[in-house]
């Protein structure tokens, strides 16, 4: 029969592991938020670079502007991946159609009814074509697109 100190020691160990896991998750969440913010700020800078290049020389070689556009697309993919990781930690998914946060146990969005993709179904290339965040550059700058993490 275990004595009271062994029992309390086990309870204390479990509590310590829980606190440690919560601290680790909080650190990961803050790290991802910081990285997302950096990528979003950099995208704004690249858009400004595109505008400046075009303004200074409207006949600029399209290949020069395409490199910058490709950089924006790459950063947007990174942001989507980091948001997926962030939401995995939080236990939710993001609807690919309306960007609503939905509990990860659901298969359909409770806001718009769209089918939610499982982790193994995620196709960022396809999501880029259907997500307003990618197809309408103005939505990147709208106040509605700003999310608090």
Give CA–CA dist 80/77, Å, rounded. 5
Q: Are 77 and 128 in contact (CB under 8 A)?
A: yes
Beta bridge partner(s), residue 92? 103
- Each residue's pLDDT tens digit, 66-115: 999 999 999 999 998 998 899 888 888 888 888 788 888 889 998 999 99
The two tokens of residue 102 are 């939905």
The pLDDT, as a whole number, for residue 135 is 44
């Amino acid at each position: 029969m275990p004595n009271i100190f062994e029992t309390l020691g086990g309870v204390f160990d479990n509590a310590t592991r829980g606190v440690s896991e919560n601290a680790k998750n909080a650190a990961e969440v803050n790290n991802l938020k910081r990285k997302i913010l950096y990528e979003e700020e950099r995208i704004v800078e690249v858009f400004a670079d595109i505008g400046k290049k075009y303004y200074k020389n409207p006949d600029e070689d399209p290949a020069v502007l395409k490199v910058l556009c490709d950089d924006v697309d790459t950063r947007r993919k990174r942001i989507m991946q980091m948001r997926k990781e962030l939401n995995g930690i939080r236990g939710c998914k993001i609807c690919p159609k309306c960007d609503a946060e939905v509990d990860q146990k659901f298969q359909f969005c409770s806001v718009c009814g769209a089918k939610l993709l499982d982790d193994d179904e995620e196709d960022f290339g396809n999501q880029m074509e259907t997500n307003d965040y990618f197809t309408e550059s103005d939505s990147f700058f709208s106040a509605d697109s700003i999310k608090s993490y």
